[in-house]
Chain A
């Protein structure tokens, strides 16, 4: 009964509750789909035995009438989340074989609510990338192909043709959700790492407000920007997952002590009377006409659902990305100082301890990670700290003020495109100039700099048949409005018809 992988998370939850199928059947259908899809490289570790064990517990709970909110729902976990006793590497060679003796708060809460773990998902090394090409496990294949593309499954479990990237850094999460290899996945977003891959794969992804989800047990990249969130196939599915993932945590001092609303109830709330802002600074020179059209269409959908559309101004938008490329590497260089070959992970011996550090880090980190650690080291070094780091943090204050001014005018949410283009080919971007790849996050990174919530919702296809998405940006801790408005876009655009499994042999 392979159709079980085609259910939405909400449908699967209701079907389990009604005992139309068991959690074990649901887990088995996904395990089989994962086996058929290894060529996509979405999972870096499959945990079928764990999944079946958790599914058996779920079935017992359901039979006893004690089903928890996510009872029996099979999920994938980004390899950035520490999972107790299950190898967690952040897709870096420096953490090869690392077996955490603890569980991240976010995943702990998912298991507390009855979810089932299918395995660990690929991502850019330490979440640094926008295409999943920096992973030590190799790139992920986007299940979407351009119309008329020559990409196909070849013999011996290989793919022929120049395939597309799924975006990054949560590329494995997005690809697995789009290819129906799980009903939802955990992801993290530092500059766009949930929303951009969701946009590239026709899935829904929400980055909650900074502080909504605990960062405890998530491998740190840039601590003032990192935030966990779900990727799933519908707005409702994301709402269901976020409710379990979010909430106060005494182990993370930056995690907000706020009650978690019933996000699913907000999904059908509508947008009547809401004021939606369209920021003029997001209208970039040379923006593809298709994206421009999609954006206007999105505004029209919200308007016909009863929202008021107003033009707004966020004057410091263009400085968000350059400021990010100071703040994020600075924090990364500090966070990644812990990989020294002493307490965990790789060790390459040297003449003395300094040489051991240097050799270990040279061998363990990939090129993008080294680049960012070095930029971060430079902007924090004596003589450059004020010129770079302090200036970038001042600009961050200005970016946040822009948003505060717009919200003070009574704007409830802001509508923008999610990405400047659809998915691109593997190897197409960033090989000569790293900045070319960084530009992918131009619409998403402002949200992290200001600590706001943002959701990417698929809104249509481009002329090549690839998905494009719109982004909604909310007020701090008002994810509910994003779910309500996101639902309007999902309904108006029509649910994405995901690719058939051309990769399965």
Chain B
């Protein structure tokens, strides 16, 4: 399977990565090289095989549903590019 330029543009949009029109053909070539490499997986008969969900058999650890951490909002926002009163600042999303 190969992807065309429109598909590359759509993938970039879904991935939330701005891609210029000049970059598209090169990216398309690289993505197609990877897709043609993985094509060989179609040779394998996978009928009746369960997809892997956990590489080592283990039961999910559980703990009591109680607060064990927190109470330091200033540390949470410390690395944010823009904050106000311990809130993250983003451009307006609701009119």
Check B38–A322 contact: CB distance below 8 A: yes
Within A271-321, the residues touching B (CB, 8 Å) are 316, 318-319
A377 to B27, CA, bound (A): 14
The reply to whether the CB of A333 lies closer than 8 angstroms to some CB of chain B is yes
10 more CB-based (< 8 A) A-B contacts, given A97-B79, A322-B39, A387-B1: A250-B61, A257-B61, A323-B38, A337-B16, A345-B81, A357-B16, A362-B17, A396-B51, A438-B37, A451-B55
A333 to B17, CA, bound (A): 11
Check B41–A391 contact: CB distance below 8 A: yes
Check B3–A322 contact: CB distance below 8 A: no
Given the contacts A253-B60, A356-B91, A398 and B44 also touching, CB distance less than 8 Å: yes
The reply to whether the CB of A45 lies closer than 8 angstroms to some CB of chain B is no
Within B48-80, the residues touching A (CB, 8 Å) are 49-56, 58, 60-61, 63, 72, 75-80
The reply to whether the CB of A194 lies closer than 8 angstroms to some CB of chain B is no
Nearest residue in A to B15 (C-beta to C-beta)?
A377
Check A392–B55 contact: CB distance below 8 A: no
- 27 contacts across the A-B interface (CB closer than 8 A): A224-B55, A256-B58, A316-B44, A322-B37, A322-B40, A325-B37, A342-B80, A353-B90, A358-B17, A361-B17, A362-B17, A373-B15, A374-B17, A374-B27, A377-B14, A388-B38, A390-B51, A391-B42, A392-B38, A392-B41, A394-B51, A396-B55, A397-B52, A434-B30, A434-B34, A449-B55, A451-B55
Q: Which residues of A contact B30 (CB under 8 A)?
A: 371, 433-434
Task: Give 1 or 0 for each of A373-410: 1 = CB within 8 Å of chain B CB.
Answer: 11111100100000110111111111010000000000
Q: Which residues of A contact B72 (CB under 8 A)?
A: 101
* Contact among B33, B39, B61 with A434 in the assembled complex (CB-CB below 8 Å): B33
Check A99–B44 contact: CB distance below 8 A: no
- The number of chain A residues with a CB under 8 A from chain B is 72
* Contact among A99, A250, A374 with B11 in the assembled complex (CB-CB below 8 Å): A374
A319 to B30, CA, bound (A): 20
Q: Which residues of A contact B46 (CB under 8 A)?
A: 391, 394-395, 398
Check A319–B40 contact: CB distance below 8 A: yes
Check A397–B18 contact: CB distance below 8 A: no
Given the contacts A257-B61, A347-B82, A396-B52, A381 and B90 also touching, CB distance less than 8 Å: no
Check A371–B17 contact: CB distance below 8 A: no
The reply to whether the CB of A350 lies closer than 8 angstroms to some CB of chain B is yes
The reply to whether the CB of A209 lies closer than 8 angstroms to some CB of chain B is yes
The reply to whether the CB of A435 lies closer than 8 angstroms to some CB of chain B is yes
In the assembled complex, how far is the CB of residue A357 from the closest CB belonging to chain B, in whole angstroms?
A: 4
A210 to B54, CA, bound (A): 10
Q: Which residues of B contact A359 (CB under 8 A)?
A: 18
A367 to B63, CA, bound (A): 40
Q: Which residues of A contact B5 (CB under 8 A)?
A: none
Nearest residue in A to B82 (C-beta to C-beta)?
A347
* Contact among B19, B31, B34 with A362 in the assembled complex (CB-CB below 8 Å): B19
A256 to B58, CA, bound (A): 8
Check A377–B11 contact: CB distance below 8 A: yes
A371 to B30, CA, bound (A): 8
The reply to whether the CB of A352 lies closer than 8 angstroms to some CB of chain B is yes
Nearest residue in A to B19 (C-beta to C-beta)?
A362
Q: Which residues of A contact B14 (CB under 8 A)?
A: 377, 381
In the assembled complex, how far is the CB of residue A41 from the closest CB belonging to chain B, in whole angstroms?
A: 25
Given the contacts A99-B79, A353-B90, A362-B18, A433 and B58 also touching, CB distance less than 8 Å: no
* Contact among A341, A435, A476 with B33 in the assembled complex (CB-CB below 8 Å): A435
Q: Which residues of A contact B93 (CB under 8 A)?
A: 352-353
Check B38–A326 contact: CB distance below 8 A: yes
Check B50–A323 contact: CB distance below 8 A: no
Q: Which 10 pairs of residues, A with B, have the shortest CB-CB distance?
A: A451-B55, A393-B51, A347-B81, A344-B79, A362-B18, A358-B18, A394-B46, A101-B75, A377-B15, A322-B38
Q: Which residues of A contact B39 (CB under 8 A)?
A: 322
A344 to B83, CA, bound (A): 11
Q: Which residues of A contact B54 (CB under 8 A)?
A: 224
A435 to B80, CA, bound (A): 36
Q: Which residues of A contact B81 (CB under 8 A)?
A: 341-342, 344-347
The reply to whether the CB of A20 lies closer than 8 angstroms to some CB of chain B is no
In the assembled complex, how far is the CB of residue A427 from the closest CB belonging to chain B, in whole angstroms?
A: 17
Q: Which residues of B contact A352 (CB under 8 A)?
A: 91, 93
Given the contacts A257-B61, A377-B15, A371 and B41 also touching, CB distance less than 8 Å: no
Q: Which residues of A contact B12 (CB under 8 A)?
A: 374
Q: Which residues of A contact B75 (CB under 8 A)?
A: 101
Nearest residue in B to A365 (C-beta to C-beta)?
B17
Q: Which residues of B contact A433 (CB under 8 A)?
A: 30, 33
Nearest residue in A to B91 (C-beta to C-beta)?
A353
A371 to B90, CA, bound (A): 27
The reply to whether the CB of A343 lies closer than 8 angstroms to some CB of chain B is yes
A322 to B54, CA, bound (A): 19
The reply to whether the CB of A129 lies closer than 8 angstroms to some CB of chain B is no
The reply to whether the CB of A117 lies closer than 8 angstroms to some CB of chain B is no
A254 to B57, CA, bound (A): 10
User: In this complex, which of B37, B42, B60 has the most chain A Cβ atoms within 10 angstroms of its Cβ?
Assistant: B37
Q: Which residues of A contact B42 (CB under 8 A)?
A: 391
In the assembled complex, how far is the CB of residue A348 from the closest CB belonging to chain B, in whole angstroms?
A: 9
Check A319–B49 contact: CB distance below 8 A: no
Q: Which residues of A contact B76 (CB under 8 A)?
A: 101
A438 to B37, CA, bound (A): 10
Given the contacts A342-B88, A347-B82, A353-B91, A395 and B18 also touching, CB distance less than 8 Å: no
